[in-house]
Structure 1
Amino acid sequence: MNNQLTIAEITELISSEMFTKVELENLKLDERKGVQKVINKYEKKLLLKAQQQENFNRMLVFENRQYDLGNRTVAGIDEAGRGPLAGPVVAAAVILKKDFYLPGLNDSKQLSKQMRESFFAIIKEEAISYGVGVIDNNQIDEINIYEATKRAMKSAIQQLNPIPDHLLIDAVPLDNLPCTSESITKGDQKSISIAAASVLAKVTRDKMMEEFHTKYPIYNFASNMGYGTKEHLNAIDLNGVSPYHRKSFAPVRDAISG
């Protein structure tokens, strides 16, 4: 077969995966460099696919444990924006279908912006239910960031329909919940449901910070997302604070008092 096909035809054949195992082995014997390049690229793709499947399965351990216990709906919860000097803290809760599969899904911080936004749309489309809670900077100043984070999480949970049988929470313990729960350290790297929630929370918050940037571009919120970068701190020193800054956070508080 390989002697009869051009490299372009072999590339199309491999791309469409319309070949048998024997035909693939025959193609591997083709000494043309172009053919070997196509085969190597295909085998790397297969390896990546296998690694993504393995990682995804590893991140289903907490969910599968609950399914084995008889729970049918498991929600993951995560937040974005506890550390920045400006903007809200955003939490998301999501219930995924038992057979949900999204290769490459992981902690949102480990994904590119393009991947996060693509996954954001897929998760919202395919989830059984999701909720997003937002606590703005003024509320953060009133009740502190830890309490604000818990309030955002509970707001997200309250939006879920149906009420989940179990909650997997990233790091923060919550009480007075409508079901059983567990807090998992670095949960966004260990649970696929929490990872999905982390994507919803981060993309939602990033979009808000990009909107704030259009109103106060001097702070470059679209780039730093409110975090205390050197450029951001310099902008505060030169221009004071915006309505979106957290006045209870030391660098902002110091700039106001100074």
Structure 2
Amino acid sequence: MKTLPDFREEKSLWRRGYQIVIGVDEVGRGAFAGPVVAAAVAFGAEVGQRFFVSCNCGRGKCRAQNHLASPRLVKINDSKVLKANQRRMAAKWIKKNCLAYGVGEVGVRTINKVGIGKATEMAMRKAIASIMYKVSSIKYKKHNTYYKIHNTKSFVLIDAFYIPYIKGIQKAQQKPIKKGDQKSISIAAASIIAKVYRDSLMQKLTERYRLYQWGVNKGYGTKLHQQAIIEYGMTSLHRQQFVQTFLTKTL
């Protein structure tokens, strides 16, 4: 039986004195078209405590790792296993209840120039920079005294499927977790924010490029998308080298 992501990693770091624990994930790495997007999400310790309360899922005293006591059941999980409406509902809850979140986007021109690996890392750094800027003005309360959060008290949890470490962040302050979006709620939340953001963007772009059906395939290389490229060619939003290499190998 698969378990849902939980706050185990985050709680361990909160106990060690890290004020900000950031989960980072990306979406769009393997797409034929459109940007790669990363998101970073940080929850406060008080949210971690509230997450383990009974919910109204019909199982009595539910202790599922991320069932929320709310009028509508919200699941935080790897974005790939959630339906679109579940992701949108979860994204709203995350934005309302997290300490801060940030999004980093790197476009096709940069992807074509530096490659998807470096572009993905750039998107992650942008997302982290965004969140650190936001939390720099946040104060936390301890023993009835308010203290300002310092960047040195932050830690980054990374979904390590493609990116083992993020350059520019001390290795002692980051941890790569394989299948992290299935283990850490912060990483899973980041995957949801990134997915909802990018899907919305691709939906808007399909109005300009109807032939490629990006509203349906989100820029990924489905059979219909491949056929459209063969018939009509590539747009400026296609990842030229990646698509050419893929089609050469498969056709």
Global fold match (TM > 0.5): yes
The counterpart of 1:249, out of the listed 230, 242, 249, is: 242
> Does 1:206 find its partner at 2:199?
yes
- Residue 189 of structure 2 aligns with which residue? 196
Q: How does 1:71-82 map to 2 (within 5 A)?
A: 71-82=18-29
Structure 1 pair 252–233 and aligned structure 2 pair: CA distance change class (3 A): farther
Among all aligned residue pairs of Structure 1 and Structure 2, give the percentage whose two residues are the same amino acid: 38
Report what 2:15 is aligned to. 68
Q: Secondary structure at the match of 2:156?
A: strand
Give the letter aligned to residue 249 of structure 1.
Answer: F
Moved more, 232-241 or 161-170: 161-170
Please list every run of 5 or more consecutive structure 1 residues that lacks an aligned counterpart in the other structure. Answer: 1-50
Aligned-residue offset at 1:55: 4.7
Listed one character per residue, the Cα deviations across residues 208-242 of structure 1 (whole Å, up to 9, x for unaligned) are: 11111111011000111111111000000010111
CA distance in 2, matches of 1:138, 1:232: 20
The one-letter code matched in structure 1 to 2:100 is S
Residue 115 of structure 2 is matched in structure 1 by 144
Q: Residue type matched to 1:125 in 2?
A: K
SS, match of residue 241 in structure 2: coil
Cα offset, 1:252, TM superposition: 6.9
TM-score (structure 2 length as normaliser): 0.75
1:109 maps to 80
- Where structure 2 has 5 or more consecutive residues not aligned to the other structure, the ranges are 52-65, 68-74, 136-150
Counterparts of 1:175 and 1:249 in 2: how far apart (Å)?
A: 24
Q: Does 1:184 align with 2:177?
A: yes
Q: What amino acid does structure 2 have at the position aligned with 1:186?
A: K
Equivalences, count: 203
2:35 to 81, 88, 93: 88
- 1:85–1:252 contact (8 Å) kept in structure 2: no
Distance, in Å, in 1 between the alignment partners of 2:6 and 2:90 is 16
TM-score, with length taken from structure 1: 0.74
The Cα shift of 1:71 comes to: 1.5
Bigger helix share: 1
Q: Cα RMSD over matched residues?
A: 2.2
RCO (CA 8 Å, sep 6+): is it higher in 1 or 2?
Answer: 2
Q: Offset of 1:187 from its aligned partner?
A: 0.4
Distance 1:254 1:114, change over 3 A: closer
User: 1:191-213: per-residue Cα shift (whole Å, max 9, x none)?
Assistant: 00000000010111101111111
Equivalent residue number for residue 158 of structure 2: 169
Q: What is the rounded CA distance, in whole Å, between the counterparts of 1:55 and 1:68 in structure 2?
A: 23
